[in-house]
Amino acid sequence: MKNRTINVQFSLALLLLLATHQTLARTDDVVGTWTSLTLQGDFGFLSPEAQDFHWMFIDQARTREDRDLRDPNDNGLRFSENLIWVQGGYNLSKHASIWLGYTHDWIRPLNGGNFQESRPYQDFLWVKPFGALSVMLRSRLEERIALNGGNVGVRIRQFAMLKHPLPYFEHLSWYAGDEVLAYLTENDFGPEGFSENRAFGGLMAQLTPHTGLMLGYMGQFINNEGSNNLFTHNLQFDLNYKF
Bridge partners (DSSP) listed for residue 168: none
d(CA 167, CA 173): 9
Domain with 166 in it: what CATH number?
A: 2.40.128
The tens-digit pLDDT sequence of the chain (243 residues) is 545 444 544 444 444 443 344 444 488 899 999 999 999 999 999 999 899 999 999 999 999 988 655 555 666 889 999 999 999 999 999 999 999 999 999 999 887 789 999 999 999 999 999 999 999 999 999 999 999 877 899 999 999 999 999 999 989 999 999 999 999 999 988 899 999 999 999 999 999 999 999 999 999 999 998 889 999 999 999 999 999
What is the chain's length? Answer: 243
pLDDT at 204: 98
d(CA 187, CA 219): 24
d(CA 141, CA 125): 12
d(CA 237, CA 59): 12
pLDDT at 110: 82
CB atoms within 10 A of CB 230: 18
pLDDT at 143: 98
| Secondary structure tally for the chain: helices H, strands E | 1, 11
Question: Which residue range forms the structural domain that includes residue 46?
Answer: 2-242
- Give the angle 154-159-160 at the CA atoms, nearest 5°: 165
pLDDT at 149: 79
Prediction pTM value: 0.85
pLDDT at 71: 57
**Closest by CA position to 138, among listed 112, 154, 167, 158:** 158
pLDDT at 10: 43
Bridge partners (DSSP) listed for residue 79: 63
Number of domains in the chain: 1
pLDDT at 15: 40
What backbone phi and psi angles, to 5 degrees, belong to 210? -110, -25
Please state, in angstroms and as integers, the Cα–Cα distance from residue 38 to each residue in 77, 86, 97, 240, following that order.
23, 10, 19, 4
- Residue 100: helix, strand or coil by DSSP? strand
pLDDT at 226: 80
pLDDT at 70: 52
